[in-house]
Amino acid sequence: LIDAALNEPEKALRMVNVFSRSTLAPPSGAGFWVYNAGMALGRKVLRSNTAVNVFHRGFVACDSYANGEQAIAAVQCPVLFALGAQDQMTAPKAAQGLVAAARAAGKVVQTTSLPVGHNQMSEAPDETLMAIRDFLAK
């Protein structure tokens, strides 16, 4: 994906928009096509800076980031991990190290699994909102 983002950005956009969505997610509402909305946003990102491929740069930054455990230790509030059960971009099991680090650092941690892929707010906005609302109500 990182190579495609650099050398074939349109292909990478299609990959992201396939991998980011759960096939179980219903349409978000009349007149809203999640896939094309994602493609349009990706193309806008690509056009936003003609000197730098910010789409590729973002993937490289995410892939090379190595300070998650230190960052979670500095968090001063309870932590909610809202994980997409069908997430192909960041599989729920990939979060387990960070969840464990948060618990080891003494944080109050709650995890919830949503029946979606990577784009929780567009796939299951109500379920995502309820998970956040319920977490904040505690």
Structural domain for 11, as ranges: 2-136
H or E stretch at 119: none
Q: Determine the Cα–Cα distance for residues 122 and 96; give it in Å rounded to an integer.
A: 24
- Output the pLDDT for position 53: 93
In the block, tokens 């464990």 appear at 100
> Mind listing the pLDDT tens digit for each residue in 47-78?
999 999 999 999 999 999 999 999 999 999 99
**Whose structure tokens read 């500095």?**
74
Contact 4, 15 (CB under 8 A): yes
- In this structure, which amino acid lies at residue 45? V
Total domains in the fold of the chain: 1
CATH assignment at residue 69: 3.40.50.1820
User: What's the whole-model pTM score?
Assistant: 0.81
